[in-house]
Amino acid sequence: MKIVHFVLSDSFAGIEQHVDEVLTNFSSHKLILICNESIASYFDKSINIYKVKNFGRRSFFGKYKLKKLIKDIDPDIIHTHGSKTSSIISSIKTKNYKHVATIHGVKKNKKIYEKADLIIGVSDKALEGINHETICINNWWHPKLKKIQNKKNKYALAVGRLEKVKGFDLLIASWKNIDANLVIIGSGKERNKLNELIEQNNLSEKVKIIDAVKKEELLNYYQDASVLIISSRDEGGPRVALEALYLEIPVISTDVGHMSQILPKELLAEKNNQSALQDMLEKYVDNIHLYNQKAIFNFVETEFSIEEKMQELNDAYSLLASKS
């Protein structure tokens, strides 16, 4: 089969990393990427890429050019990532190919996806409320990660875009009574607000924000981390948690995405509840080394490997093709 993956983002972040890893680790069929020309250089050089200029959901000219490109490629399946590309393909789709749509986050408006032939969610929570054929294929840990030797345990770590949904404001506000240092790695529009919150709570000596770094450099921060914290208000399936657990770094999280499948209740705080998050952090951050997560590390390594998830994806494609 010939399968086209379609992303139209302006930045290379979690969804784009997900697509890059699918395209470089899936060998069962011929894969092609259509993406915004501004981010094409961030994808692996081995990927067959068709570049397009970014355009809006209602752009007649943009959709006309895309439809012509798809006709030239002649795919069996188009696999969209995110609501924008799903909406665009739903509006121009022909009977010549199947449409698979992946939901990477928790969305309020899910009707956009319901014209797809198959909807994939990166967690069961991402698929809640959809009356359509769906399948859950969880995220995975980064396939090039190598186990850490000689961990330093210098600080607690949080990683993600500096946006409200990630809950870093809740995390900072919860850090007042904790002795450990906290490093937040990420870039985004909330940075100034978060720095102000650090100042207001007199946490400048304990809490630092560092600009987003490449995956290779992030490994250096993992090396020195005693615990990873997920503070998100909502999340499809936090990849960074899977990476940390694969590297045998303990994780504390809000109850988002697939985290309830992985962590026990005592290490999950109610999402969007600063008081609950603070109570859990004060109880566990400084004593996380006393909580044995070895069984969790082993579970993530075996059940969330990219090999496991690529087989699930191949099975989904094959099942869809058989219904032609």
**pLDDT, tens only, 204-246:** 999 999 998 877 788 889 999 999 999 999 888 888 999 999 9
The most confident of the ranges 130-134, 137-141, 178-182, 301-305 is 178-182
Q: Is the pLDDT of residue 70 over 70?
A: yes
DSSP, collapsed to helix, strand or coil, labels residue 160 as coil
Predicted model pTM = 0.83
Nearest Cα neighbor of 78 from 27, 4, 16, 23 is 4
Is residue 263 located within the same domain as residue 297? yes
Is residue 115 located within the same domain as residue 95? yes
**Residue 18 amino acid letter:** H
Whether residue 150 is contained in a domain is answered as no
What's the CATH code of the domain at 298? 3.40.50.2000
Host domain of residue 235? 155-303
Whether residue 145 is contained in a domain is answered as no
How many structural domains does the chain have?
2
Cβ-proximal residues to 304 (8 Å cutoff; 6+ apart), any chain:
138, 139, 140, 141, 242, 246
Is residue 75 located within the same domain as residue 130? yes
Is residue 206 located within the same domain as residue 78? no
Mean residue pLDDT across the chain = 92
Is residue 182 located within the same domain as residue 273? yes
Whether residue 159 is contained in a domain is answered as yes
Q: Per the structure block, which two tokens stand in for 141?
A: 């840990």
Q: 268-310: per-residue pLDDT in tens? A: 999 999 999 999 999 999 888 888 889 999 999 999 999 999 9
Whether residue 164 is contained in a domain is answered as yes
Is residue 128 located within the same domain as residue 12? yes
Question: Are the C-beta atoms of residues 249 and 286 closer than 8 Å to each other?
Answer: no
Is residue 131 located within the same domain as residue 206? no
Whether residue 148 is contained in a domain is answered as no
Whether residue 149 is contained in a domain is answered as no
pLDDT-above-90 percentage for the chain = 72
Category of 51 on φ-ψ map: left (φ > 0), alpha (ψ -120 to 50) or beta: beta
pLDDT-above-70 percentage for the chain = 99
Is residue 238 located within the same domain as residue 269? yes
Q: 184-193: per-residue pLDDT in tens? A: 999 889 999 9
Residue the block writes with tokens 């994939």: 120
Is residue 239 located within the same domain as residue 164? yes
Question: Are the C-beta atoms of residues 98 and 117 closer than 8 Å to each other?
Answer: yes
Is residue 172 located within the same domain as residue 251? yes
Is residue 10 located within the same domain as residue 84? yes
Whether residue 279 is contained in a domain is answered as yes
Is residue 9 located within the same domain as residue 119? yes
Q: Is the pLDDT of residue 149 over 80?
A: no
d(CA 55, CA 8): 8
Nearest Cα neighbor of 260 from 138, 102, 162, 159 is 138
Whether residue 238 is contained in a domain is answered as yes
pLDDT band at 142 (very low <50, low <70, confident <90, very high): confident
Cβ-proximal residues to 252 (8 Å cutoff; 6+ apart), any chain:
227, 228, 229, 230, 263, 267, 269, 280, 281, 284, 285, 288
Residue the block writes with tokens 């890059």: 20
Q: Is the pLDDT of residue 324 over 70?
A: no
Please give the residue that has the higher pLDDT: either 142 or 177: 177
Question: Are the C-beta atoms of residues 31 and 8 closer than 8 Å to each other?
Answer: no
